[in-house]
A = this chain, B = another copy of it.
Amino acid sequence: MVMAMPRVSEAHLNARRDQILEAAWRCFARNGFPGTSMQDIFTESGLSAGAVYRYFPSKLELVKATTEHVSQIADDAFDSVVRSEPIPPPDTCVRLVVDALGRIDQLQEADLTGVALHMWSEALREPAIGAAVEAVGINVRRRWAEVATRWQAAGYIAGDADPDDVARLFYGIMAGYIIQKCVIGDATPDQYVAGLSALLPADFSR
């Protein structure tokens, strides 16, 4: 019992931290970073100012932590793609990632991928957020480069291509999907992926 105490306490601390981050995520998705006050986050989380400040001493810290939290969830979703064996072709992989992003929205019962649009905007204004957002982008591209290397071995992309360049394109394809979903709203996963399938060789013979 004596040994169990710190573990319970740590689990409690982590759960409380996640509770604050998810409340902040909902506020930021709704109103952007400049449009969200700390008071909004106290209200949304149902916690006192003191409880929130114990974890996050400023709004900037909360924005950075939210960026990292969102990134971690997106990274977990990505794992389901990278671990597929054999690696599916590029259009199927995009579909898997799009579906994984859709499950994040469902889990949180809100259109939370929209927070990415606020992150990109705020990255241009606030260098500390820019650094966090850049790190997320570099990580996502690293994951796509792993996938591109496997596509190359499977003959899905040109043998002389640089997997890092393919990763740049697929970071762009996913970011562009999120934007379109949020600001135009009529690109279903089926439609978007069909647009990619239309470009690919019918039989992937290279």
Chain A: residues with CB nearer than 8 A to chain B? 29, 31-32, 34-35, 90, 114, 117-118, 120-125, 130, 133-134, 137-138, 141, 157-158, 161-162, 164-177, 179-180, 182-185, 187, 191-192, 194-202, 206
Given contacts A31-B125, A171-B176, contact A199 B200 (CB under 8 A): yes
Q: Are A194 and B165 in touch, CB under 8 angstroms?
A: yes
Cross-chain pairs A/B with CB under 8 angstroms, 23 sampled: A29-B124, A32-B34, A32-B121, A34-B35, A35-B125, A121-B122, A130-B183, A134-B185, A158-B197, A158-B199, A161-B197, A161-B198, A162-B191, A165-B191, A168-B180, A168-B195, A170-B195, A171-B176, A171-B184, A172-B176, A172-B180, A172-B192, A175-B175
Q: Are B191 and A168 in touch, CB under 8 angstroms?
A: yes
Q: How many copies does the complex hold?
A: 2
Majority SS of interface residues in chain A? helix
